[in-house]
Amino acid sequence: MIENINWYPGHMKKTRELIQENLKMVDVVIEVIDSRIPISSRNPIIDEIVSGKQRIVIMNKSDLSDAEENKNWCESFRKQGHYALTMNCNTGIGVKELYKLLERLQNEKNKDSIRLKPLRMMIVGVPNVGKSSLINRMTGKKSAKTGDRPGVTKGKQWLNLENNMQMLDTPGILWPKFEDPKAGLNLAFCGSIKDEILDVPTLAMELLDVLRKDYPDLLEKRYKIELSDFEEEVFDEDGFPVNPALATMEDICRKRGWILPGKKLDYERAGRIILDEFRAGVIGNITLEKAR
């Protein structure tokens, strides 16, 4: 499923060149990632391109992720030599902390300067991690387009902040080619890949498989099911083994009444609602990738 997603090396190359060309003009790089998938929502080429520059890692959507894992990941990034902050760019939680850090960096930059120079920063990140929402929060206006669909920002633009700082926005750097199917799945779970090009029921079933293992209590509480019913191998009426995740989805369909005429289970509806509820944090605070 994920292997069939189109990859745009031309777009990747253009954005890479854009960042490299402007990197010498900035003091700090702000990298926005999705706190639910701190590995999959980072493009590895960022490390290569911006090495040597101060970096602030913004763990956005932290209101949707596991609070304990947020702490673990922040500590992990700090050990790598980066600043790290948890944020919710939609509500503005964490923006004050970010400004305090940026002001400190600006003061350090001008410590021995007669003429004060503005701190210049660059915002980078893969599509749909909240880059534009962060920019709008920091500028206090809708200077950047936002949307649930990936790939909204086009070109580059310098933005002036009220505290005399300057920010360079860049297009979302695309995810790498999917050598690791798990990275592609995680991005799809979180909505960074358009659902229109995916098999939604299968994607939801893959998510249920992960949640069954890592967050069974949340799954049981949200959908009023008993996962213990599927701990032992289950067989269908023809004697074939049933995938536990599929059995879980079918149980959810029956509990919610998602049944089509002819008593057929509505897998399409179930898939879309399960994905939507995960992405909105309705199932609970979930981090799909744990800090090592």
User: What pLDDT does residue 178 have?
Assistant: 61
Neighbours of 276 (CB within 10 A): 13
At residue 31, what are phi and psi to the nearest 5 degrees? -105, 120
Average of per-residue pLDDT across 155-165: 76
Least confident residue range of 50-54, 206-210, 244-248, 265-269: 50-54
Please give the structure tokens belonging to residue 48.
């290569």
pLDDT-based confidence at residue 173 (cuts at 50, 70, 90) = low
Who contacts 179 (Cβ-Cβ below 8 Å, separation ≥6)? none
8 Å CB contact between 274 and 249 = yes
Which pLDDT value is given to residue 54?
A: 93
Q: How confident is the model at residue 75 (pLDDT cuts 50, 70, 90)?
A: very high
pLDDT for the residue numbered 169? 72
Q: What is the mean pLDDT of residues 148-154?
A: 41
Average pLDDT value for residue range 230-245 = 69
Closest CA to 127 of 155, 150, 149, 104: 150
Given a cut of 80, is residue 52 above it in pLDDT? yes
Distance CA 257, CA 275 (A): 17
pLDDT-derived band at 61 (thresholds 50, 70, 90) equals very high
Q: Is the pLDDT of residue 148 over 50?
A: no
* Residue 42 or 205, more confident: 205
Give the pLDDT score at 234: 64
Closest-CA residue to 29 (of 11, 7, 8, 45): 45
Strands 234-235 and 241-242: antiparallel
Residue 230 has what pLDDT? 55
**The pLDDT of residue 290 is above 70:** yes
pLDDT over 90 at 216, yes or no: yes
Give me the residue label for tokens 């070109």: 155
Most confident of 9-23, 44-58, 63-77, 232-246: 63-77
The structure tokens 């750097």 sit at 173
Residues 6+ apart with CB under 8 A from 177: 7, 9
